[in-house]
Amino acid sequence: MRLDILIGIHSTSEHHRFINPLNCACVIYPTVNDAVKVRMEGGVMDECEASKDVLLSDTMDQYRTFQMCERLLHSPAKLANQLLFQIPPHRQIMLIERYYAFDDTFVREVLGKKLSKGTKKDLDDISAKTGVTLKSCRRQFDNFKRVFKVVEELKGPLVENIRQHFLLSDKLWLCDGVGISSWYFLDNMVEDMDVDLDKEFLQELKELKILIADKDLLDQHKSLVCTALRGKTKVFIEMEGSFKNLSRGLINIAAKLTNTKDVRDFFIDLVEKFIEPCRSDRWSAADMKLYLTHYTNSAHILDTFKHQVVWDRYMGVVKSCIFKMYHD
């Protein structure tokens, strides 16, 4: 019987610049050889006067160490309290953020889709389409699913819950990157953390339905937008023909928002009611930006429309989301 034993000293002294466990290469690169190649190109062998064999051995040890501590990254708070791996706080932060980092191209493919087994089966195709390795696609998919599962039932602002439970900075998560935090009621004097999405704002969103319920206002809005778009895009006919359906889609999404859970459906609704119809009409990303800019600005010219403040607050996030999610 053969027994393989690994004995490792998990030291992270700054003096050991070469023997540096958990340098996050195992998160970024799918294989040991890939990581070795990158480290060699970075000049680590010259810097530390080490041989290729030593570099390979060190990198393999890092991958083994990472495999042992990866389970802790599923609940990042546990990483700070464990004693097995001596990882300084600043390296813990770096490791967590690298592990939960995502590729924009991958996010565009999965955002708006349900985080189900069916979507996970499509990761092979997503990997081939985006150029993101399958291993990385699986990690990012599992991370999205893990985060949403934890925060789904939590009270309080979504962004703050993610930050507290996964020790992540705002910049890593789309909900803050597109400004959704501006929809939350943030008041340090409020003790009841069940106050999440600004309820007054949610109520005001329902007032936007006048843009589609009032036929004259809908026609006037369409006329202003189409006048601004005419001659500036190759898909003008498609834009003109789909204006009312697209506008109804965006306004109905606004009216549907009632609590924090609706934020997750918000992305799915944007894809189904707006992005997919535009993609089927072959809008380019530039077409999308042009359309949404005029669609938003034209509402300010409507004489009988008196909800410009809530309109800008809503459409600011909508535009940011769609610009990130839409690609040619």
| pLDDT (0 to 100) of residue 150 | 85
Predicted pLDDT of residue 8: 44
Q: What share of the chain is helix, strand, coil (3-state, %, to 5)?
A: 65, 0, 30
Q: Residue 12: its pLDDT value, please?
A: 37
Q: What is the pLDDT of residue 297?
A: 97
Q: pLDDT at position 187, please?
A: 44
Burial (0-12, 13-18, 19+ Cβ within 10 Å), 301:
exposed
Q: What is the pLDDT of residue 109?
A: 79
- CA dist 245 and 267 (Å) reads 18
Given this model, what pLDDT does residue 314 score?
A: 94
What CA–CA distance (Å, rounded) separates 24 from 44? Answer: 15
Q: What confidence score (pLDDT) does residue 14 get? A: 32
Q: What are the average pLDDT values for consecutive 10-residue runs of the chain, which has 328 residues?
A: 43 36 55 80 77 85 84 88 83 87 80 73 90 90 87 72 79 54 51 56 94 97 97 97 97 87 78 92 96 97 94 93 78
